[in-house]
Structures are given as structure tokens and as C-alpha cells.
Structure 1
Amino acid sequence: MTSPAAEFIDRTLRAEASEWRADADAERIGGGLRFYGASVGAVRGTVRDADRRHPGMTHDDVTALASELWSAPVYERRLAAIVLLQRHVGMLRGNDLTRVEQFLRDARVPQLVDPLVGDVIRPMLDRLAGAEAVRARRVVERWVSEDDPTLRAVASGL
């Protein structure tokens, strides 16, 4: 079942689509993802509008919506998930790092990995304190020995 917020975001991104941009992005970014052809500005504006349409989203609402958006291998939906997490990074908890880890494993392209690291993971790690920070750092330390080259690269960059 699709949530109303995810339906709004997906419908709006499709409406903002450009076949020309989708083809160009598919060629430039690739990664086996599908592309609607919506601009980055349209993605950001759509997430902002979704926040306005669905005020008061809780931590669980935000993380569930991010996972729902990420579930389809569509670049703009995944970028919308990242933008959503960026907007709500202050409410993310240390245990959300395992969800973000799965996003990193599935990201496929640097255009999704880089904002996840720079705008979600790094600010989240910087904000965490105490035992929660220690647990989060252990997760990142585990990534150093992962088979996944993306996780290894992210861990070395953090």
C-alpha cells in the first residue's frame, strides 16, 4: 500500500518529468536506475510541498516515507528520499544508520551516495552523543571490512 505522501511525491515527480531529461540523465548517471526526468529543483520543491501537505510527520513517518520512496529503483524517488532525510536530519537516531546503510548498498551511483553521506550521515553522526554515538561509530567501523566497496569508501571518508 502506498502512503498518501509517497503517492503525492511520485505523482508530482512524474508530472514534472521530461523525456529528454530522463534520457540524458539515464545516459549520464546510469546505474540501472529508471529516470522520470524531473529536475533536482523539482525534487526538492516536491519534498518541501509534501512536508507542507503532511505537517507534523514523526520520526517513524519520515523514515517509513524515505523507505517507501527508496523501494522503487527510480532516481528521482531515491533523491526525494534523501532530500526528505536531509530536511529531517535532526530527528534521525543512531539506529537509523542501518536503514541508511541499506540505501547505500542499493544506491548504485555516486549522485545518490554523495548526498547521503554529506547531507544525512555526516550531520547525523556529528549530532549524536553518548552511547548512541558510540553505537553509530561501531556501525561505520564495521563498514571498513564490508565486501561492498561503496560502504568501505564511505567509512574511509567519514
Structure 2
Amino acid sequence: MSEAGEFVDYTLQMESTWEKAEEANERLGGSLKVYGASVGAVRGTVRDALKRYKNLDHDDITALSSELWAEPVFERRLAAVVLLQTKVRVLVNTDLTRIEGFIRQAGTRELVDPLAADVVKPLMARLDGLLKERAERVLERWAADPDPELRRAASLATGAATP
């Protein structure tokens, strides 16, 4: 694991409480492991990581998001979402492939919805020309996919009616 990934994971574990872990586990229905860190702690941890590791470029950001997502732990995955939300301006249309994988593995709408609304939608708004056309084709494919969460993400990202 990268130094930045270790920092985020360690900090999230240190910010956790058994009470929050129990509540999150109930809310998520056991679909993911939980540390028990608050949303505020996750956001603060990502903010601190970005201050500590200032020179992260596109490849570093996407690699770190994948690294955090790799373990089925809610707070790590939420940190990946927050990272992508914070750095959405460096993302490109080809990052939709990575995000599609995240959506398929999310396990909860608490991760799908912010990925769609706060990452994919602003990414789409920034694109133009051929890059936008390619990204729109990806979202059209998502909208027709058998996976209900992928269809939901397409709807949220495009502003269509949410299933």
C-alpha cells in the first residue's frame, strides 16, 4: 500500500468508535466491513492526506482511490469517494471505467449516490466535443445495464428520473 493509502487507512481506524461501527453495520446491513469513523472524520482524513501529499497528480489520485476501494470497508470506500469528489477537476472521461467498477462493487447507495451526483455529473459537465460524446455513450450503456445501481448512477449523473 502507498504511504498516502496507509496514512488514510491508519487514520480512519484511529478515528473509529465501536458505537459508530455498530450503528453503521446495522444501517449497511453487513454488506461491508466498517471501522466506525464518522463522515466528518473521513472528510478530514482525506483533507489531511491531500495536505500531506501535495503533489498527487491524476494517476496518483486514481491509484489512491483504487487502493482505498480495494478493501470492502465502508470508510475506506467513502474516503475514495471523497477523494474523487475533491479532485474531480483532474478526472478524465476514461476514469468512468474505474468509477463503473466502484459502482458495481459499492454494496450501498451511500456510496453510489455521491459517486454519481458529485463525481460523474461534474465530470460530465466539464467535458466537451468527442470526449463528452464518448462519456455520454458510457452513461447510455450504464442506463441500459441489468445492474440497478449502475442504472441509478446513470440517472443521477444525467438528471434523468431515478429508478
Q: Provide the TM-score with structure 1 as the length reference.
A: 0.96
Instruction: Please give the alpha-carbon distance, in whole angstroms, between the structure 1 residues aligned to 2:41 and 2:111.
Output: 16
Unpaired runs of 5+ in structure 1? none
Match of 2:90 in 1: 91
Identity within the alignment, %? 55
Shift of 1:28: 1.1
Instruction: Please give the alpha-carbon distance, in whole angstroms, between the structure 2 residues aligned to 1:43 and 1:30.
Output: 20
In the TM superposition, what are the counterparts of 1:44-123 in structure 2 within 5 Å?
44-123=43-122
Which region of structure 1 is more displaced relative to structure 2, 111-120 or 27-36? Answer: 27-36
Match of 1:39 in 2: 38
In the TM superposition, what are the counterparts of 1:1-16 in structure 2 within 5 Å?
2-16=1-15
Deviant stretches of 4+, over 4 Å: none
Q: Provide the TM-score with structure 2 as the length reference.
A: 0.94
- For the Cα contact (< 8 Å) 1:31–1:109, is it kept in 2? no
Q: How many residues align?
A: 157
1:120-149, Cα deviation, whole Å (9 max, x unpaired): 010000111111111000000011221211
Shift of 1:31: 5.1
- For the Cα contact (< 8 Å) 1:9–1:50, is it kept in 2? yes
Instruction: Please give the alpha-carbon distance, in whole angstroms, between the structure 2 residues aligned to 1:79 and 1:123.
Output: 18
**Alignment partner of 1:130 is 2:155:** no
CA RMSD of superposed structures (Å)? 0.9
